[in-house]
Amino acid sequence: MTDQLPPELADANTQYPVVDYPPTGANTAWSVDTQLASYPGVRSHRWPTYVAVAAGGALAAIILVGGAALAGHAMQPPTPPAHVVQPAPVTVTIQAAPPPPPVASSSKDDEYLADLRIHNITVDNPQEAIRYGHSICDLRSQGRSADSIVKQQAPLSPRMAYQGVVDWVAIATENFCPQYEGTE
Protein backbone atom coordinates (compact mmCIF):
# COMPACT_ATOMS: atom_id res chain seq x y z
CA MET A 1 0.00 0.00 0.00
CA THR A 2 1.65 3.21 -1.15
CA ASP A 3 0.48 6.67 -0.44
CA GLN A 4 0.06 8.63 -3.63
CA LEU A 5 1.22 12.23 -3.50
CA PRO A 6 -0.01 14.91 -5.84
CA PRO A 7 2.52 15.80 -8.57
CA GLU A 8 3.37 19.19 -6.94
CA LEU A 9 4.58 17.33 -3.83
CA ALA A 10 6.35 14.56 -5.68
CA ASP A 11 9.75 16.20 -5.07
CA ALA A 12 9.19 15.97 -1.32
CA ASN A 13 8.80 12.23 -1.71
CA THR A 14 12.40 11.88 -2.76
CA GLN A 15 13.63 13.48 0.45
CA TYR A 16 11.22 11.66 2.75
CA PRO A 17 10.44 8.17 1.48
CA VAL A 18 7.04 6.77 2.29
CA VAL A 19 7.12 3.47 4.14
CA ASP A 20 4.49 0.85 3.53
CA TYR A 21 3.10 -0.52 6.75
CA PRO A 22 1.45 -3.90 6.82
CA PRO A 23 -2.21 -3.94 7.75
CA THR A 24 -2.48 -4.72 11.47
CA GLY A 25 -6.11 -4.09 12.19
CA ALA A 26 -5.17 -1.49 14.79
CA ASN A 27 -4.46 1.74 12.98
CA THR A 28 -4.35 4.11 15.95
CA ALA A 29 -1.48 6.02 17.41
CA TRP A 30 -1.64 4.07 20.66
CA SER A 31 -1.77 0.61 19.21
CA VAL A 32 0.90 -1.86 20.26
CA ASP A 33 2.39 -3.96 17.49
CA THR A 34 5.64 -5.75 18.19
CA GLN A 35 6.10 -6.68 14.55
CA LEU A 36 6.57 -3.04 13.42
CA ALA A 37 10.15 -2.96 14.61
CA SER A 38 11.09 -5.59 12.06
CA TYR A 39 10.16 -3.38 9.09
CA PRO A 40 12.81 -1.07 7.64
CA GLY A 41 12.43 2.62 8.55
CA VAL A 42 10.36 1.91 11.66
CA ARG A 43 11.96 2.69 15.00
CA SER A 44 11.06 1.45 18.42
CA HIS A 45 9.48 4.01 20.71
CA ARG A 46 10.78 2.36 23.87
CA TRP A 47 14.07 4.27 24.01
CA PRO A 48 12.60 7.28 25.93
CA THR A 49 11.52 4.88 28.64
CA TYR A 50 15.00 3.41 28.85
CA VAL A 51 16.57 6.87 29.00
CA ALA A 52 14.14 8.00 31.74
CA VAL A 53 14.82 4.92 33.86
CA ALA A 54 18.58 5.32 33.44
CA ALA A 55 18.38 9.04 34.37
CA GLY A 56 16.25 8.25 37.42
CA GLY A 57 18.72 5.59 38.53
CA ALA A 58 21.64 7.97 38.09
CA LEU A 59 19.82 10.66 40.08
CA ALA A 60 19.05 8.20 42.89
CA ALA A 61 22.70 7.14 42.98
CA ILE A 62 23.85 10.78 43.18
CA ILE A 63 21.43 11.47 46.02
CA LEU A 64 22.60 8.39 47.95
CA VAL A 65 26.27 9.20 47.50
CA GLY A 66 25.73 12.86 48.41
CA GLY A 67 23.65 11.93 51.48
CA ALA A 68 26.30 9.48 52.64
CA ALA A 69 29.00 12.12 52.19
CA LEU A 70 27.00 14.68 54.18
CA ALA A 71 26.22 12.17 56.91
CA GLY A 72 29.88 11.26 57.18
CA HIS A 73 30.84 14.92 57.36
CA ALA A 74 28.23 15.62 60.03
CA MET A 75 29.51 12.77 62.20
CA GLN A 76 33.08 14.09 62.28
CA PRO A 77 34.03 16.13 65.34
CA PRO A 78 34.32 19.83 64.63
CA THR A 79 37.78 21.05 63.92
CA PRO A 80 39.07 23.44 66.54
CA PRO A 81 39.40 27.02 65.35
CA ALA A 82 42.81 28.39 64.62
CA HIS A 83 44.40 30.28 67.45
CA VAL A 84 42.81 33.69 67.59
CA VAL A 85 44.64 36.55 69.23
CA GLN A 86 42.26 38.67 71.25
CA PRO A 87 43.08 42.36 71.51
CA ALA A 88 43.82 43.67 74.95
CA PRO A 89 40.72 45.10 76.66
CA VAL A 90 40.42 48.86 76.68
CA THR A 91 39.49 50.51 79.94
CA VAL A 92 37.71 53.84 79.92
CA THR A 93 37.17 55.72 83.14
CA ILE A 94 34.47 58.35 83.30
CA GLN A 95 34.17 60.50 86.34
CA ALA A 96 30.85 62.03 87.20
CA ALA A 97 30.65 65.64 88.17
CA PRO A 98 30.96 66.08 91.91
CA PRO A 99 27.65 66.58 93.70
CA PRO A 100 26.77 70.14 94.66
CA PRO A 101 27.84 71.13 98.12
CA PRO A 102 25.15 70.41 100.66
CA VAL A 103 23.08 73.33 101.76
CA ALA A 104 23.56 74.05 105.41
CA SER A 105 20.48 72.83 107.18
CA SER A 106 18.80 75.26 109.48
CA SER A 107 15.79 75.04 111.67
CA LYS A 108 13.84 76.96 108.98
CA ASP A 109 14.77 74.26 106.45
CA ASP A 110 13.58 71.55 108.84
CA GLU A 111 10.31 73.41 109.47
CA TYR A 112 9.83 73.86 105.71
CA LEU A 113 10.33 70.11 105.07
CA ALA A 114 8.01 69.25 107.97
CA ASP A 115 5.32 71.57 106.55
CA LEU A 116 5.63 69.87 103.13
CA ARG A 117 5.11 66.45 104.80
CA ILE A 118 2.08 67.77 106.72
CA HIS A 119 0.51 68.81 103.38
CA ASN A 120 1.27 65.31 101.91
CA ILE A 121 3.92 66.64 99.54
CA THR A 122 6.50 63.89 99.12
CA VAL A 123 10.09 65.04 98.71
CA ASP A 124 12.65 62.66 97.17
CA ASN A 125 15.63 65.01 97.60
CA PRO A 126 15.36 67.36 100.60
CA GLN A 127 18.28 69.54 99.48
CA GLU A 128 16.65 70.09 96.07
CA ALA A 129 13.33 70.91 97.74
CA ILE A 130 15.05 73.52 99.92
CA ARG A 131 16.69 75.11 96.85
CA TYR A 132 13.30 75.16 95.10
CA GLY A 133 11.76 76.92 98.11
CA HIS A 134 14.47 79.60 98.04
CA SER A 135 13.98 80.05 94.26
CA ILE A 136 10.31 80.79 94.93
CA CYS A 137 11.42 83.59 97.25
CA ASP A 138 13.78 84.88 94.55
CA LEU A 139 10.85 85.11 92.13
CA ARG A 140 8.72 86.86 94.75
CA SER A 141 11.52 89.40 95.33
CA GLN A 142 11.44 90.16 91.58
CA GLY A 143 7.78 91.18 91.91
CA ARG A 144 6.13 87.94 90.81
CA SER A 145 2.86 87.04 92.49
CA ALA A 146 2.27 83.65 94.08
CA ASP A 147 -0.47 83.01 91.49
CA SER A 148 1.85 83.69 88.53
CA ILE A 149 4.50 81.36 90.04
CA VAL A 150 1.89 78.59 90.47
CA LYS A 151 0.69 79.00 86.88
CA GLN A 152 4.29 78.77 85.67
CA GLN A 153 5.27 75.78 87.83
CA ALA A 154 2.11 73.64 87.61
CA PRO A 155 2.75 72.40 84.02
CA LEU A 156 6.37 71.64 84.98
CA SER A 157 5.23 69.34 87.82
CA PRO A 158 2.98 66.76 86.14
CA ARG A 159 3.20 64.32 89.07
CA MET A 160 1.75 66.90 91.44
CA ALA A 161 -1.83 68.12 91.55
CA TYR A 162 -2.45 71.83 91.00
CA GLN A 163 -3.37 72.28 94.68
CA GLY A 164 -0.04 70.68 95.63
CA VAL A 165 1.82 73.39 93.68
CA VAL A 166 -0.32 76.08 95.35
CA ASP A 167 0.52 74.62 98.78
CA TRP A 168 4.23 74.35 97.96
CA VAL A 169 4.48 78.02 96.93
CA ALA A 170 2.57 79.06 100.08
CA ILE A 171 4.77 76.91 102.36
CA ALA A 172 7.99 78.27 100.79
CA THR A 173 6.75 81.83 101.16
CA GLU A 174 5.71 81.25 104.79
CA ASN A 175 9.05 79.66 105.77
CA PHE A 176 11.66 81.50 103.69
CA CYS A 177 10.20 84.88 102.81
CA PRO A 178 7.33 85.68 105.16
CA GLN A 179 7.48 89.35 104.13
CA TYR A 180 5.63 88.37 100.89
CA GLU A 181 2.97 86.34 102.69
CA GLY A 182 -0.51 87.64 102.01
CA THR A 183 0.59 89.86 99.10
CA GLU A 184 -0.32 89.09 95.53
What sign results for the dihedral spanned by CA atoms 106, 110, 116, 118?
negative
Q: What is the pLDDT of residues 47-80, one digit of tens each?
A: 677 778 788 888 888 888 777 766 666 566 666 6
CA atoms of 22 and 1, how far apart (whole Å) = 8
Q: What is the mean pLDDT of the chain?
A: 74
Q: Which residue has the higher pLDDT, 142 or 27?
A: 142
Q: Return the closest-CA partner of residue 119 out of 173, 171, 73.
A: 171
Domain boundaries, the chain: 107-180
- Amino acid sitting at position 163: Q
Give the number of other CB atoms < 10 A from CB of residue 132.
16
pLDDT value for 13: 47
CA atoms of 39 and 37, how far apart (whole Å) = 6
pLDDT value for 51: 76
Q: What angle do CA 16, 18, 21 make, to 5 degrees?
A: 145
Q: What is the pLDDT of residues 74-105, one digit of tens each?
A: 566 666 666 666 667 766 666 766 665 555 55
